[in-house]
Structure 1
Amino acid sequence: MKAMKFFTVIALAMMSVFTITSCDNDNDVYWYYPPYPNALVTVKPVSDNGFYLQLDDSTTLFPTNMKTSPYGDKEVRALVCFTEVKPVNSDYTKSVEINWMDSILTKKGVPYPGEEGEAEYGEDPIEIVKDWVNIAEDGYLTLRFRTRWGNNGVAHFVNLFTGVNPDDPYEVEFRHNAFGDVNGVWGDALVAFRLSDLPDTEGKTVKLTLKYKSFSGEKSIQFDYCSRKAAGSTNIAEKPAYSSRVK
């Protein structure tokens, strides 16, 4: 079974910080190297192969130590470990040095295909794990989910249906097709869905309802949601850069 990078991140987060002691023992200097992510961002490409990071709906980060995006012209959601630096680039909210960055599976939502088209998207259960990465921001719904994974190398198929409720355009549904890989060990993965099919909230914050099938039955969660304010790339990366076990 292929190991997910997510578990590597969790393991690193549990490590102790590293310290460096100066030559003067009476004046020890402690340097903290954070191996864990301190932000969830959207990596947005700009002209000349440059890029910036969208931290939330209103905060932008300028990377001072990377000139080109490792994801080319693709827009992706990513976990990042960064350090703020000075001076601040006047075109952005903050300037940062990127210690490391790792993209997660980033996909567009799927307009509800009707009952006749549902089968390929599956209805295998998942659990939504309580975590700081579960958020609706910058036009995306990002989720950490948990299910069972076997050791047969099968990539699970996850999607987000939009337009499932004619009476509520902000109701969406998580769908999971495990392709029969349902008897393995518990494991987590991250995914981000672009919400560009939803109606513009016109600057207002509304309730976004996520429906999903859990291992104990049908459940729902609500998120605060406001449509993406600034125009950005729509060239969404569809490949599972964060985990080889979901697509």
Structure 2
Amino acid sequence: MKTQSFIRKGFFILMALCLSMGFQSCLDDDNDDFYLSHYYANALVTVKLSADNTPYLQLDDSTTLRPVNMTTSPFGEKEVRALTNFDFSNEAPQEYDKAVFINWIDSILTKPMAPNLGEEENNQTYGNDPVEILNDWVTIAEDGYLTLRFATRWGNGQPHFVNLISTQNPDNSYEVEFRHNAFGDTEGKMGDALVAFKLDQLPDTQGETVKLKLKWNSFSGEKSAEFDYCTRKATNPDAQEVTSIRNIQKVK
């Protein structure tokens, strides 16, 4: 009887240890999921400043976010497009639509449109090396910007030069062209990068949504795509443009 009692006690102790280890494993899995959920970007935003230089985020054409743990912009007085990971906060959004807690934020290359110099000069200055525009959640026209994820060949570490110009098509004022100058760096492996172009040089859509046509030279010839586009509403007029890169590949 004592032997059976000892065996039963040992069995229950072993079961308790197994359950405890299993429960701890579940907790570890939950922690892994929690940290992984903060590893990837969950939003593409425009970092802006209010009239009193308080930073806020523009999530899309109509949604603004108050970053409760960001009292100054990490990008100074410059307006940039950025990837971020945030959680919604229970704090008051104040004059904004939502309050959020920023886990991390990183700017992407943000540029104005470049002038159209004519075909020959465009080729010399901006290049016409092939790229592929990737159908990705960050390839989008919103908040007065055209943000693009693109892929091309990268080899010797030479920064590539990317620009957006108006085609000056008399039949379509909202036709633009992506230009890429690899400076001869065209033999490496495929890699991708991000860039955002401010579209304030295009005609005002007067609140209407129009089709923005993008053209580019791909590895299989000329391609095009259309985006829904509406001129953004005015924000802080003192905000400056910034050319800031946080991509794996080097672009300028």
- Name the TM tier (shorter chain): 0.7 to 0.9
The question of whether the paired residues in 2 share the 8 Å contact of 1:49 and 1:72 is answered with: no
SS at match of 2:125: helix
Unmatched segments (≥5 aa) in structure 1: 1-21
- 2:130 matches 1:125: yes
Q: Please say if 1:246 is aligned against 2:251.
A: yes
> 2:98 — aligned with what?
94
- Residues 114-193 of structure 1 correspond to what in structure 2 (within 5 A)? 114-118=118-122, 119-150=124-155, 152-193=156-197
What residue number does 1:195 align with? 199
Q: How does 1:18-57 map to 2 (within 5 A)?
A: 25=23, 30=30, 32-33=34-35, 34=37, 35-47=39-51, 49-57=53-61
Amino acid at match of 1:40: L
More helix by share: 2
Distance in 2 between residues matched to 1:139 and 1:47, nearest whole Å: 19
Distance 2:130 2:183 in 1: 12
Deviation of the 1:125 alpha carbon: 0.3
Distance across 2 between alignment mates of 1:202 and 1:111: 23
Question: How much does 1:153 deviate?
Answer: 2.2
Aligned counterparts, 1:194-213, within 5 A = 194-213=198-217
Preserved contact between residue 51 and residue 236 of structure 2 (Cα < 8 Å): no
Identity of aligned residues (%): 60
TM-score (norm 2): 0.83
- 1:33-57 Cα deviation digits (max 9, x unpaired): 3111110000012355421000001
Could you give the per-residue CA deviations for residues 135-179 of structure 1, whole angstroms, max 9, x where no partner exists? 1000000000000001x2210000000253122110000000000
Q: Work out which of the residue numbers 116, 122, 133 in structure 2 matches 1:112.
A: 116
How many equivalent pairs are there? 223
Indicate conservation of the 8 Å contact 2:131/2:151, yes or no: yes
CA contact (8 A) 2:209 2:230 kept: yes
CA RMSD, 1 decimal: 2.0
Cα deviation, residue 88, structure 1: 2.6
On the 8 A contact 2:111/2:243 being kept in 1, the answer is yes
TM-score by length of 1: 0.85
CA distance in 1: counterparts of 2:236 and 2:134, whole angstroms: 29
Question: Which residue of the other structure, out of 76, 99, 105, is the alignment partner of 2:80?
Answer: 76
Q: Secondary structure in 2 aligned to 1:123?
A: coil
